Structure 1
Amino acid sequence: MTIILGIESSCDETGIGIVRLESDGSLTLLADEVASSVEQHARFGGVVPEVASRAHLEALVPSVTRAFATAELELSDVDAIAVTCGPGLAGALLVGVSAAKAYSAALGVPLYGANHLPGHVAADTLEHGPLPAPCLALLVSGGHTQLLRVDDLATKITEVGSTIDDAAGEAYDKVARILGLPYPGGPPIDKAARRGNPDAIRFPRGLTGPRDAPYDFSFSGLKTAVARWVETHDDLPVDDVAASFQEAVADVLTAKAVRAATELGIGTMVVSGGVAANSRLSALARERCAEAGIELRVPKPRLCTDNGAMIAALGAHLVAAGVSPSALDLSASPGLPVSIVSV
């Protein structure tokens, strides 16, 4: 067996995960510690990079200590270290990368610079086991909305479609601000939407015309449509606006994902990323995948958001695939493309 330490610090969560790679290739999650600085960013209505970096500095070592206590292991038990080196906020990434390099050098174990985006897909393997090849991943988070063809989680991931402007999670945050709801916008909009009527307002579905890119997304126009609707109505039914907005997002995401899987002949879909925890998105994805005969896999909410467990899981896949470790001059890569699984 092999013990992998995973470190995640791409945005506002300091995540430390410990995974055991079993001799049969299966994964066992031993610890998953997350320290979030979201409350420090809430008054600004978004993540402040310098605040996030300082929060990582303060939280990283205590989070590592808690993770090893939970796993009942010592640092000397670690066989490999995986760390998010991109994409993400440059300063935040550097905190995690610097710590991982220090642990790697001190312990004399290999270091793997991992891509945050495949990490979200790898999180599903902690709950549902190995991914069939190929599978389609719908990655939906605050900074990313992508459709990915996954032929090999460690070596071959291809972007099928992506957002051309706002990510879905970003649209949630902006609409929440318009409606006077707290940051981050996903949970409060989801909560309000459960009380509202999703058919009350027909908001636009971006990039769904016959000549539009079939697998790409656009949420900027939807966000603007919500803002214009709110400006022209004095009596604001927040719950109905939230439900109608959420319905538009879930409708587009699931329709394009199912279309891609069907047209590409892929029988399994993974929905991952922070927005995957949204109740309407997961419900509509289950409904449409069932109708299309597609197996749907959605990790539990804890594994959907940013965490170190997903990076440890991706690190385990890299180790199992015999991927070469990173050099100790590894640096942060804020714009790392999803096709580069490890650096």
Structure 2
Amino acid sequence: MLVLGIESSCDETGVALVRAEGPAAPPRLLAHALHSQIDMHQAYGGVVPELASRDHIRRVLPLTRQVLAQAGCGLEDIDTIAYTRGPGLAGALLVGAGLACALGAALDRPVVGVHHLEGHLLSPFLSADPPEFPFVALLVSGGHTQLMRVEDVGRYELLGETIDDAAGEAFDKSAKLLGLGYPGGPALARLAEFGDPDVFTLPRPLLHSGTLDFSFAGLKTAVWTQVRKLGDRVCEQDRAHLAASTQAAIVDVLVKKSLAALKQTGLSRLVVAGGVGANRRLRAMLDAQAQRRGWRVHYPELHLCTDNGAMIALAAAMRLQREPQRARRDYAFDIAPRWDLAAA
């Protein structure tokens, strides 16, 4: 089964081809292409939905041709077309859904809508060290921070989630307070490399709450308070120290909640997925804790941490290996800007 995956939920246009041989064989990535809109949105300090949608329209067909050429395949070789159904920006989602349904109708091929977070959750199965079920998943993608117990594809139990700002939002908003550009998270992480995380004392919200929920809004407020205290006296080294302290606070919460989830479930495997999963401090701390306890931590390849078509094609392939009936041929435009993963 050859699956074409299309991702257009926010500010990256991704297209990929994945081949699935059978239930016992893991799907293989044949080719993928990605266009990031970072340069376009930098002037506005964040994603402009209308501009994002229009750029997806410009990019998605050339990327599809590029992926087919890389894989040495033609349109007639595609068995199924997958697209990100949600969550995401409505206009952006419609671009991917529209192309998928149009190709499906033209080729007489089934289409399947994929949950964006399920794509992230399953993306480590394309890595050189894929996980095995069951495992705990830490999803840290954009406005989402969640801990899930994953028994199998489609069998997800929510253990905890953010009640306000997500980890990615805390990175981005704190970066903006520090005068860093868009995207803020990677910029803050780079600046943090030159700072001391112990210079500023920042809160670790809900760290001792006894639950697996997250809250990062208070941390953002604490960063704002420190920036105000520094005022005009702030120098580049102070900004680096504050960036390092902010990153340390976010990572400490993510690590300790993840360890608590593993202990609570009795599982010994953790999957970390989403853009924040590329953070080097987070990976180093999780790896150190896992080595100490004899646990395993799995990540997607770094180039697959952000939004991409490969994770969408993969998630569709793994779903269809277990539930072939999910593929449909009615070709109706169907998106879900807000969509609970448990109901996917």
TM range (shorter): over 0.9
- Deviation for aligned residue 1:61: 0.3
Aligned counterparts of 1:33 and 1:48: Cα–Cα separation in 2: 22
Which residue in the other structure is 1:146 paired with? 146
CA contact (8 A) 1:6 1:309 kept: yes
Which residue in the other structure is 2:307 paired with? 306
CA contact (8 A) 1:25 1:320 kept: no
Query: Structure 1 regions of 5+ residues with no counterpart?
Result: none
Aligned with residue 215 of structure 2, among 206, 213, 218: 218
Which residue in the other structure is 2:58 paired with? 58
The answer to whether residue 183 in structure 2 is matched with residue 184 in structure 1 is yes
CA contact (8 A) 1:115 1:340 kept: no
Instruction: Note the 1:244-255 alignment, pairs <5 A.
Output: 244-255=245-256
Instruction: Note the 1:1-343 alignment, pairs <5 A.
Output: 2-23=1-22, 24-128=24-128, 131-153=131-153, 155-209=154-208, 212=209, 214-233=211-230, 234-236=233-235, 237-324=238-325, 325-326=327-328, 327-341=330-344
Aligned counterparts of 2:265 and 2:324: Cα–Cα separation in 1: 28
CA contact (8 A) 1:26 1:129 kept: no
Aligned counterparts of 2:323 and 2:72: Cα–Cα separation in 1: 27
The verdict on how the C-alpha distance between 1:21 and 1:71 changes in structure 2, with shifts beyond 3 A counting, is same
- Deviation for aligned residue 1:44: 1.4
- Deviation for aligned residue 1:330: 4.4
- What's the secondary structure of 1:123's corresponding residue? helix
TM-score, with structure 2 as normaliser: 0.95
Q: Alpha-carbon deviations, 1:266-295, whole Å to 9, x = none?
A: 111000100111111111111122223221
CA contact (8 A) 1:206 1:219 kept: yes
- Deviation for aligned residue 1:128: 4.1
Identity of aligned residues (%): 45
- Deviation for aligned residue 1:245: 0.3
Corresponding pairs, count: 337
Aligned counterparts of 1:110 and 1:306: Cα–Cα separation in 2: 23
The verdict on how the C-alpha distance between 1:176 and 1:251 changes in structure 2, with shifts beyond 3 A counting, is same
Q: Alpha-carbon deviations, 1:161-209, whole Å to 9, x = none?
A: 1111111111111111111111101211111111111111121001123
CA contact (8 A) 1:258 1:292 kept: no
Aligned counterparts of 2:287 and 2:324: Cα–Cα separation in 1: 34
| Deviates further, 303-312 or 45-54 | 45-54
TM-score, with structure 1 as normaliser: 0.95
- What's the secondary structure of 1:124's corresponding residue? helix
CA contact (8 A) 2:131 2:298 kept: no
- Deviation for aligned residue 1:13: 0.4
The verdict on how the C-alpha distance between 1:108 and 1:213 changes in structure 2, with shifts beyond 3 A counting, is farther
- Deviation for aligned residue 1:73: 0.8
Query: Structure 2 regions of 5+ residues with no counterpart?
Result: none
Tell me the amino acid that sits aligned with residue 193 of structure 2: R
